Structure 1
Amino acid sequence: MLGLALSTLRHRKAGFVGAFVGLFCAAALVSSCGMLMDTGLRGVVEPERYVGAPVIVSGDQDVRAEERKSSTSTKTKTKPLGDRAWVAASVADRLRAVPGVRSVVTEVDLPAAVGAAPGAESWGHGWESAALTPFTLASGRAPEADGEIVVDAAARLAVGATTPLRTPAGTGVYRVVGVTAQSLPHQSTVFFGTAEARRLAGHDGQYSAIGVYPAGVAPAVVDALRGTAASVFTGDERGRVEFPGADTARTRLISMGAALGGTSLLVAVLVVAGTFALSGQRRQRELALLRAIAATPRQIRAMIGGEALVVSAVAGTLGAAAGIGLAFWLRDTFAGLGAIPVNLPLVVGPFPPLVAVAATLAAAWAAARVSARRIAAIRPVEALGDAAMTPPRVPVLRLAAGAVALAGGVVMTVLLSTIRTERGSGPLTPVTTLVWITAVALLGPPIARGTVAALGPALRLSRIGGWLAAANLRTDARRLAGVVTSLSLMVGMACTLLFAQTTMAHARGAEALAGNRADYVLGTRIGSGAAEDVRWLPGVRAVTEVLHTTVWTGVTSHSAQAVTPAGLSQTLDLDVRAGSIDRLAEDTVAVREGLGPGLGDDVPLSLADGTPVTLRVVAVYGRGLGFGDLTLAHDLVARHVDVPLNDSVLVAAPTVDRATLVGALRGEPGVAVLDRITAVSASSDGGTAVNYVALGLIVGFAAISVVNSLTMSTLGRSREFGLLRLVGTTRRQVLRMLAWEAGTVALIATVLGTAVALATLWAYSTGMTGMPTPYVPLPSYLSVVAVAAALALVATALPAALALRTRPTDAIGVGE
């Protein structure tokens, strides 16, 4: 049968273009997402500043938790921290006593932005740590006094220049006394004197890293540090200390790749199955003739399966290769959006493309075999008549599968409505939509007949075009169901993924706006010095510094805000349900309702740098979406984050005007003074750009399937168009008929896709926000509908215009 399959492909190339395009895109998406996952699993961020130190000692960069596997064994689970884990200064003394250690170099890190412009961030260090780096002085000398700095070559400052420098302690003016000969590709560097760096870092008695020389002492260092909280890093692992967010980004990359790749693969199965089904419909006469000359059902299925394998092998191979380029584009896009480090290179290996080819082969073979079942069952006698005109009955097995998919959609919708975390709802939301669309695909013919029957009277108001469209749609429900499924998939996925983002953003923004009592908001990335400048102004009742961070219970991360406890009730209303927020202190915590801990419970936490603390719950609040899972004291958190700059400062000052506040902040250039409504609206952007990139890829793939389906469906009707022309229908009347059909298809698909999306979004909104009504901006929804309608019209009109160029007498004799 393989030879027959190859012969069929050679003579019917145009008939397999749609399948080829769908499989090509599926392989490209799966290959690129697999490479992203592989990068998350095996990618490394090489050290830049620590290349001069063979051994780096720092705190443990992971948070750990014991998980019991059985009554006799446990498993340690680890998750990477997002901030540096500092190490006690006593560790340096222990290292100096290790035999063979010739030198120990200590370092502290702190954010230091040259020019004091927000966003122009660079890292500051003590000059003694220059020995860990490739830096040497090109001019000038090392810093000695507190107001002196050495800058790297990229700063473009000369010796003797003065520059404002923003640090967590505020903005100060420093004099450049030295310029290095080098600069690093992915970070700017400023060196202070040793005492000044330690003062500004604020980690008394701790170091961010310790360099140990020579390389051969690593085993002895490991032995010497047993029983301490310090860890030893060599080789590329030194990059984990230098770039502490790299491991978190790798974990995020694994999640993004798995979610995007899994969703794309499920979409691909639906797309490919629909494409092969339409292709089989176009070949029904040919296959019936094969049955009439004694071809067995098994041979028909083998031939169609062989065709699918050949097409998918070529499309999968080319698509997997194209996926490598797509993976590079995705990696660069995610890096540009700040989702992953710019210095995390893409891992290019053979495994993801091979998996993409295998997945494409499996999807194509399964789709072809399923679509071949009914075609292979054609009775030989049907070949003597017009097989294409025989109204098919929907198989009982298909109806049963549709009922199962429908029940699955209901179950998954109910399950989604009970999930309260983005970690759980994120992957389940698109899958729920796909289950509903699967039910629509399986039950498509009866749905199509019912909707056409309902729309028939309206269509027949148009005496020619509408009447012909109604007759065609009523006669060929299978073709209608195929194109409606593709368009419903696009509308449903677009609405689900887009409006899940807007729903969460709207809920967060509404809670943040309702809970913000401040008259003014200072933002962003503000040091505590700016808050102090404002706090003592006459008329200022309360100043609340807000710093967002991540804390851990075991290996489960939670969003948290650190706030100044004094006067908190005058700037924030967290909707406290139990306890009192006025009792917030460095040894207490407030938690959102539903998180688990109750009033008076002791909660063991790990802060952003892994420091363990146990805090007592003094308040339970309701506005967790707007203000995070936990609320802690600002001073506690600020000592344990890499960048202790406030995300905002809330000011309760009803009698103070904006000009007075601006005047008080003259020592902090670039700090914006906003009212609370403007600040909330600026922070609520309707979702992250990373999610919109993923949305664009999936919806784009679905849109390709729409074009495929409609193009194949229209080109397969050349004989029909020729017959209509021969009985007196004009070219314009045929095009009007097709326009009515395309409009009907777009209407049915929009209704079905919207219904599917609304069911999923209802569940998502109920679980995540507690409100059953999702937030659907009307302009965005109308844009989705307009794109769907435009695709339906264009993908019908262009191939129809091509088909109508053939003379009717020639078209009537064209094979299917």
Structure 2
Amino acid sequence: MELMISFALRMLRHRKAGFAGAFVALLCAAALVTACGMLLETGLRGGVAPERYAGAPVIVAGDQYVRQTKESGKEKAKLLSERRWIPASLARDLARVPGVTKVVTEVSFPYAGFTAHGWESAALTPFTLAEGRAPEAADEVVVDARHAGRTIPGHRVVGVTAQALPGQDTIFFTTGEARRLAGRDGLVTAIGVWPGVEVAVEVAVKGAMVYTGDERGAVEFPEAENSRVRLISLGGALGGTSLLVAILVVVGTFALSMQQRRRELALLRAVGALPGQVRRLVGGEALLIGAVAGALGSGAGIALGFWLRSRFVDLGAMPANLRLVVSPFPSIVAVVTTLVVAWVAARVSARRTTRIRPVEALGETALPAAGIPPVRLVAGLLALAGGVVLTIVLAGLNTEAASSPVTMLTALVWTIAVALLGPLVARAVTALPLRAPGVAGYLARKSLRAGTGRLASVIVPLTLMTAMTCTILFVQTTMGHAAQDELGAGVRADHVLGPGASAAAARQVPGVRAVTEVLRTSVRIDLEKYAVQAVTPGGLDRTMDLDVVAGSLDGLGDTSAAISRTAADRLDAGLGDRVGLVLGDGTPAEVRVVAIYARGLGFGDLTLSRGLVAGHVDDPRGTVLVSGGDREALRRASGGAVLDGAGAAEVDSPNAAVTYVAMGLIIAFCAIAVVNTLAMSTLARSRELALLRVVGTTRRQAARMLRAETLTATVVAVALGTAISLVTLAAFSAGMTGSALPYVPSGAYLAVVAAVAALALAATAVPGRFALSCRPADTLAARE
């Protein structure tokens, strides 16, 4: 064993270029796994330090989860989309607890870009006045130090605090005015409690809980909890996809490396090395490379994790005060994973050479194998069958949470099938009557037919990059285009008023025929989340068309609902059925289905009455759809921005940018694999190119030959990658939109193809120029 390790070290020292490609692939894989692990761990264990609640040792607030006990007796919990409020009367009960010295109630709600409160809650931070006085009248406010000197329309600034919180802009009203503006009679957001000694604070109100330490930060920043849930999902999906891509790339890289070393390994077998010894040698080399690449890659992955966090914060998908968890576990997992992947990839790649007899092994170096190994053929056919099954499954999924991971997995399984059956694909390509002009074309045609194994190795990463890039990009465009089409066809309003506009004032504008107030939120039904639009029912048919396929919207009210066709299928609900749901703040409700509509992507899974929902959302302002009326008159009367009716059809997809950033890492990894593979393949042909130069081929002819080969491989790979992505996207679109036609912008697709081709040509041209710049005699005389 020691002899094999020593031999492996010597081989690595003398074949640095041959192992560089495997090292780069493993390093990138370790970095990706580490970064994804950091995101996942932050989602599981990350915490947010309190800011506004920092001055209160104990906070009593609502339970921010909806809970359900399953038949097995196990309780499951899902995060609410809105803040759960608690009775203000609970403060009196807490004040009577022995040992409690002070109790402070607070309300919190958005107001003109601020987080607004009543002045009584200033003690929670605590806030103190730097100048001025506390508000005493309904039109008086106090602003934080960051906004000293600012004017607030409709109010008088009578005080400025000495403090300003880093994560929020704060404004204070009088206690009575704050509760009136919040619109939650008898309810408060939270209660701060100051025990004089260690006191067990208990609450007897359903839905109320006690929070201490960093738990207070989770109550203060409910969006941080949403971000944690998103990070768990994103980290898991991205990590799983990264790992599968890494395995595919690393196996391909090692396969190419072993292919280039067949003569070397065959000579070892010919001089008496046993198959087990050669396998241990190859495995030892892989472990040495994997250990170094894993260690360096995990360090790079930590930096990558911090970069991802900064991008997510910039995109608003993650609050700045959600701390990134840094622990040794992601790095350990990355190193172990890298070692396992490297060892398995090397052993699998060298399997054929180590199992044949020495004389046959030497023959293999002179004459490539006539057929594909049976095991590889069976694995490829199984991968094809897996791709078919996953495609069928994907076509039946109609929720984004379920379809997103299956979409990436489907594209990967199809690509794995191409990788396993690559030699057959390459042989089929070279069997075509390829024609290219001139000496370079003739040489390229002969070279491709003689090196089908090399062609297969080059096709795989190019196919992977094309398939993954197209799938990632066009999943988003397909969903966005479908929702945009539904909104564009369904909005009948002439104008859209932005948040804060007065619907009552808009109704008084001459020429206005109908006004519909719209709120966006979500509800839980059996713990599953459903998107909701809450509307004022009067005149709804004049401002929007939901494409009702059953029932009528005339019966929409506080105890009824319209439901999309997709949601109706998921819930197995029909007209007249009663559906139990939990509103965004945890309040249970039951509604009767009075209509089923087709345009669920654009208008939400459920349409409820605004009267039912408005008192249960953090921000009840929403938008206003107006049919008729003059634009300028509406702007003056409502006090809000006015858009054309088409403006309502603009689909906001904040998660799309996050997905692009996260999955962009996969695309970057695929691009590195392309450069890696093509560079290795080209540099390994130095002797071949030197022989061509010796027999009279010019440097320009040899360079053109390399370009022709690369373009052939690129055309084949782009065709395969496009086919894989189209099959995957068609299944995704069929499940999510009801149409098997995905939306693929021609400009974006051509940009992908151009980027793949440019990358392939550059990855061939640079090492090719280096190989051709050497003197042929020197190259032929050099030792391998």
Name the TM tier (shorter chain): over 0.9
- Is the 1:601–1:616 Cα contact (8 Å) retained in structure 2? yes
- Is the 1:64–1:554 Cα contact (8 Å) retained in structure 2? no
- Sequence identity, in percent? 58
- Is the 2:263–2:362 Cα contact (8 Å) retained in structure 1? no
Equivalent residue, structure 2, for 1:134 = 126
Partner AA of 1:544 in structure 2? T
Alpha-carbon spacing, 1:407–1:615, altered in 2? closer, same or farther (3 Å): same
Structure 1: which 5+ residue stretches go unaligned?
A: 114-120, 165-172
Paired residue secondary structure (2:476): helix
- Is the 2:391–2:731 Cα contact (8 Å) retained in structure 1? yes
In the alignment, is residue 745 of structure 1 matched against residue 713 of structure 2?
yes
- Is the 1:23–1:364 Cα contact (8 Å) retained in structure 2? yes
- Candidates 464, 469, 485, aligned match of 2:439: 464
Give the TM-score taking structure 1 as reference length.
0.93
Alpha-carbon spacing, 1:815–1:82, altered in 2? closer, same or farther (3 Å): farther
CA distance in structure 1 between the partners assigned to 2:667 and 2:36 by the alignment: 15
In the alignment, is residue 713 of structure 1 matched against residue 705 of structure 2?
no
CA distance in structure 2 between the partners assigned to 1:289 and 1:735 by the alignment: 32
How far apart are 1:563 and its partner, in Å? Answer: 1.0
Q: Pairwise CA RMSD of aligned residues?
A: 1.5
Alpha-carbon spacing, 1:143–1:304, altered in 2? closer, same or farther (3 Å): same
Q: Name the stretch that deviates more: 43-52 or 78-87.
A: 78-87
- Candidates 191, 196, 199, aligned match of 2:172: 191
Paired residue secondary structure (1:803): helix
Equivalent residue, structure 2, for 1:562 = 534
Equivalent residue, structure 2, for 1:425 = 403
Superposed CA deviations along residues 578-622 of structure 1, whole A, max 9, x for unmatched, are 221121111111111132222112211111111111111111111
- Candidates 377, 386, 398, aligned match of 1:399: 377
- Is the 1:719–1:813 Cα contact (8 Å) retained in structure 2? no
Equivalent residue, structure 1, for 2:750 = 782
Alpha-carbon spacing, 1:152–1:476, altered in 2? closer, same or farther (3 Å): same
Equivalent residue, structure 1, for 2:740 = 772
How far apart are 1:94 and its partner, in Å? Answer: 1.4
Superposed CA deviations along residues 651-672 of structure 1, whole A, max 9, x for unmatched, are 111xx3322222323xx2xx33
How far apart are 1:82 and its partner, in Å? Answer: 2.8
Alpha-carbon spacing, 1:249–1:67, altered in 2? closer, same or farther (3 Å): same
Equivalent residue, structure 2, for 1:167 = none
- Candidates 598, 601, 605, aligned match of 1:629: 605
CA distance in structure 2 between the partners assigned to 1:686 and 1:554 by the alignment: 26
Superposed CA deviations along residues 129-163 of structure 1, whole A, max 9, x for unmatched, are 11111211111111001110111000122xxx742
- Candidates 608, 614, 617, aligned match of 1:638: 614
Alpha-carbon spacing, 1:129–1:297, altered in 2? closer, same or farther (3 Å): same
Equivalent residue, structure 1, for 2:28 = 25
Superposed CA deviations along residues 35-90 of structure 1, whole A, max 9, x for unmatched, are 00100000111110011111111111111111122xxxx11001122321100122
Superposed CA deviations along residues 757-814 of structure 1, whole A, max 9, x for unmatched, are 1110110011110001100000000000001100110000100100111111122234
Alpha-carbon spacing, 1:686–1:144, altered in 2? closer, same or farther (3 Å): closer
- Candidates 326, 333, 337, aligned match of 1:359: 337
Superposed CA deviations along residues 431-456 of structure 1, whole A, max 9, x for unmatched, are 000000000000000111111222x4
- Candidates 410, 419, 428, aligned match of 1:441: 419
How far apart are 1:815 and its partner, in Å? Answer: 4.4
CA distance in structure 1 between the partners assigned to 2:652 and 2:118 by the alignment: 38
- Is the 1:498–1:695 Cα contact (8 Å) retained in structure 2? no
CA distance in structure 1 between the partners assigned to 2:85 and 2:603 by the alignment: 28
How far apart are 1:218 and its partner, in Å? Answer: 4.6
Partner AA of 1:453 in structure 2? A
Paired residue secondary structure (2:159): strand
- Is the 1:719–1:814 Cα contact (8 Å) retained in structure 2? no
CA distance in structure 2 between the partners assigned to 1:297 and 1:679 by the alignment: 69
In the alignment, is residue 15 of structure 1 matched against residue 18 of structure 2?
yes
In the alignment, is residue 376 of structure 1 matched against residue 379 of structure 2?
no
In the alignment, is residue 729 of structure 1 matched against residue 697 of structure 2?
yes
How far apart are 1:463 and its partner, in Å? Answer: 2.6
- Candidates 286, 297, 302, aligned match of 2:275: 297
Equivalences for 1:468-547 in 2 at 5 Å?
468-523=443-498, 526-527=499-500, 529-547=501-519
Partner AA of 1:663 in structure 2? R
CA distance in structure 1 between the partners assigned to 2:654 and 2:204 by the alignment: 48
CA distance in structure 1 between the partners assigned to 2:667 and 2:506 by the alignment: 48
CA distance in structure 2 between the partners assigned to 1:476 and 1:248 by the alignment: 53
- Is the 1:592–1:621 Cα contact (8 Å) retained in structure 2? yes
How far apart are 1:521 and its partner, in Å? Answer: 1.6
Paired residue secondary structure (2:167): coil
- Candidates 48, 53, 62, aligned match of 1:50: 53
CA distance in structure 2 between the partners assigned to 1:44 and 1:694 by the alignment: 22
CA distance in structure 2 between the partners assigned to 1:215 and 1:579 by the alignment: 61
How far apart are 1:717 and its partner, in Å? Answer: 0.3
Alpha-carbon spacing, 1:747–1:354, altered in 2? closer, same or farther (3 Å): same
Superposed CA deviations along residues 393-425 of structure 1, whole A, max 9, x for unmatched, are 311111111111011101110110011111110
Superposed CA deviations along residues 316-375 of structure 1, whole A, max 9, x for unmatched, are 111011111110111111111111111101000110110011111111111111101012
- Candidates 583, 586, 600, aligned match of 2:558: 586
Equivalent residue, structure 2, for 1:704 = 672
Superposed CA deviations along residues 195-234 of structure 1, whole A, max 9, x for unmatched, are 1111111000001001111264551x21xx2353311111
Partner AA of 1:146 in structure 2? A
In the alignment, is residue 649 of structure 1 matched against residue 624 of structure 2?
yes
Partner AA of 2:287 in structure 1? L
- Is the 1:278–1:479 Cα contact (8 Å) retained in structure 2? yes
- Is the 2:38–2:324 Cα contact (8 Å) retained in structure 1? yes
Q: Name the stretch that deviates more: 590-599 or 280-289.
A: 590-599
CA distance in structure 2 between the partners assigned to 1:94 and 1:384 by the alignment: 88
Paired residue secondary structure (1:574): coil
Equivalent residue, structure 1, for 2:635 = 662
How far apart are 1:237 and its partner, in Å? Answer: 0.5
- Is the 1:103–1:213 Cα contact (8 Å) retained in structure 2? yes
CA distance in structure 2 between the partners assigned to 1:453 and 1:687 by the alignment: 46
- Is the 2:566–2:605 Cα contact (8 Å) retained in structure 1? no
Q: Name the stretch that deviates more: 501-510 or 83-92.
A: 83-92
- Candidates 249, 268, 280, aligned match of 2:246: 268
How far apart are 1:382 and its partner, in Å? Answer: 4.7
Segments of 4+ moved more than 3 angstroms: 215-218, 382-386, 388-392, 684-687, 813-816
Superposed CA deviations along residues 473-516 of structure 1, whole A, max 9, x for unmatched, are 11111111011001000000001111011000000001111111
Structure 2: which 5+ residue stretches go unaligned?
A: none
Q: Name the stretch that deviates more: 609-618 or 481-490.
A: 609-618
CA distance in structure 2 between the partners assigned to 1:774 and 1:100 by the alignment: 65
CA distance in structure 2 between the partners assigned to 1:101 and 1:276 by the alignment: 68
Equivalent residue, structure 1, for 2:152 = 163
- Candidates 183, 186, 193, aligned match of 1:202: 183
CA distance in structure 2 between the partners assigned to 1:396 and 1:362 by the alignment: 24
Paired residue secondary structure (1:464): helix
How many residues get paired?
A: 777
Paired residue secondary structure (1:241): helix
CA distance in structure 2 between the partners assigned to 1:676 and 1:730 by the alignment: 66
Paired residue secondary structure (1:635): helix
Equivalences for 1:135-284 in 2 at 5 Å?
135-157=127-149, 162-164=151-153, 173-214=154-195, 216=197, 218-219=199-200, 221-222=201-202, 225-226=203-204, 228-284=206-262
Paired residue secondary structure (2:32): helix
- Candidates 720, 727, 746, aligned match of 1:759: 727
- Candidates 308, 317, 320, aligned match of 2:295: 317
Paired residue secondary structure (1:79): strand
Partner AA of 2:124 in structure 1? L
Paired residue secondary structure (2:193): strand
How far apart are 1:542 and its partner, in Å? Answer: 0.8
CA distance in structure 2 between the partners assigned to 1:428 and 1:645 by the alignment: 37
CA distance in structure 1 between the partners assigned to 2:54 and 2:196 by the alignment: 12
Paired residue secondary structure (2:51): coil
